[in-house]
Amino acid sequence: MARKHLLSDLAGPKSHAGSAEDVSAQESITPQYAPRGAIGAVSRSIELLKSQSLIELDPDRIDAPAVTDRLDEDGEQFEEFARNIRENGQQVPILVRPHPTIEGRYQIAYGRRRLRAVKAAGLQIKAAVRTLTDDELVLAQGQENSARQDLSFIERALYAAELEANGFQRSVIMGALAVDKSNLSRLIQAATQLPADVIRGIGAAPKTGRDRWGELATRLGSDGAVDKAREVLSDGAVKALPSDERFARVFEAAAPKKVKKNKVQAEVWQAEDGVKAARFRQDKRTLTLMIDNKAAPEFGDYLMSVLPEIYASFKKTKQ
């Protein structure tokens, strides 16, 4: 009964908003060029919200859907947003649907940040209630994000991968994110190549694009790199950083270590009279000869003066 009463209040007097049948009739006369299917239904639902009355709900009665589209944002950014809500009130309503399995509860379609801020302020949340299928809820999230601040690359990638893992068709995911098949495949691949806990530990990283995330996935493929990333993200000081800086810390920690080449040790050349006149080091490409001017004064100058003769003699042996 609670759900029926709530939907009746949302629709308003029949003389103004009409019954559910009236709404369906209004939707049936949508022009031929309007979007069809689930995407078209969501478009019409969002348009209808503009003319519907709103209700106030206890934030504790609203649950997250199975798949959420945004990662938790940095504390400083959220605090600024929450302060604005406390001082000026909630200006934009959220969209919820009656919970599909729990009577008297709701699931949020979009407005999670507003819900969090209003709840923190101890206020009731202004909401519009629509009966949405799972596909329509996902599409509503996508349309809201297109109209407002867009998701970062990794949020889009993680959202796409989680939607597919939860059984949503790719056509629905493409509609929600406004991407084609090839771009959707790239998004899903990017997310599945990275550990989900590392992504969530880093956060949205709005300034970090696909190429950098792809390079991080490559780096994390090295032995022990994922453990290093998790160790970095567990540091309290790193957790307090903005998400793009957290990405930079993990990116640096996962960098492959340069292998130092072991230098060939120089050997000592000792003359028959016991003087250690030189040291030499030889590899596949070079022979390095170092004359000890202290042990054998003027020997270096003499060697350089006879070097042409030595080389000429060498060439004769090769003839």
> 99-130, pLDDT tens digit by residue?
999 999 999 988 888 898 899 888 899 999 99
C-alpha 226: how far from its chain's center?
Answer: 16
Helix ranges, 121-209 (H): 134-147, 153-165, 170-177, 181-192, 196-202
Residue 23: its pLDDT value, please? Answer: 31
The mean pLDDT value of the chain amounts to 79
Residue 45, CA distances (Å) to 14, 18, 162 in order: 18, 15, 25
Provide CB contacts within 8 A for 99, sequence distance 6+.
Answer: 63, 105, 106, 107
pLDDT for the residue numbered 270: 87
| 51-65 average pLDDT score | 84
Break the chain down into helix, strand, coil percent, rounded to 5. Answer: 50, 10, 40
What does pTM read for this prediction?
0.53
pLDDT digits (tens, 9 = 90+) for 281-310: 887 788 888 888 888 888 888 888 888 888
Q: What is the three-state SS of 219-252?
A: HHCCCCHHHHHHHHHCCHHHHCCCHHHHHHHHHH
Amino acid 29: pLDDT: 27
pLDDT-based confidence at residue 13 (cuts at 50, 70, 90): very low
231/35: higher pLDDT: 231
Pick the residue with more confidence: 80 or 145? 80
pLDDT at 53: 62
Whether the pLDDT of residue 259 is over 80: the answer is no
Q: Are 161 and 154 spatial neighbours (Cβ–Cβ below 8 Å)?
A: no
List the structure tokens of 212.
Answer: 């950098």
Largest Cα–Cα distance of the chain, in whole Å?
120
Beta strands 106-110 and 94-98: pairing type? Answer: antiparallel
**Within 10 A of 298 (CB to CB), how many other CB atoms are there?**
9
**pLDDT beyond 60 at 274:** yes
How does pLDDT run across 128-160, given as a tens digit for each residue? 999 999 999 988 887 776 555 567 899 889 989
